[in-house]
Amino acid sequence: MKLAATLLTIWLGTFAGNAAAAASEPALPNADYCARRDADPEKCVIQNGPPPKPIVRKKKAPPKNPAVSAMPAAKQPAKS
């Protein structure tokens, strides 16, 4: 009896999972209908496709400047 209950539970879980997955997927266009010349383009185009990938641009590191506080010896003011 436990085996039957376990199998029934597994079957119902699988059935419910498949039903939920089928409900969330959009219906694909009918290939035979869309192959015709007089087919309506609105019915043959998938309306809700995946979202576009975001554009990610890497920021360039700012250039490294030498230390400004150290002046060359020739340009330092003379000490009195």
Query: Does this model's pTM top 0.75?
Result: no
Measured CA to CA, the distance from residue 55 to residue 61 in angstroms comes to: 19
- Tens-binned pLDDT, residue by residue, of the chain (80 aa): 788 888 888 887 787 777 666 555 557 778 899 899 999 888 888 777 777 888 888 888 888 876 655 556 566 666 65
> Collapsing DSSP states into helix, strand and coil, what is residue 57?
coil
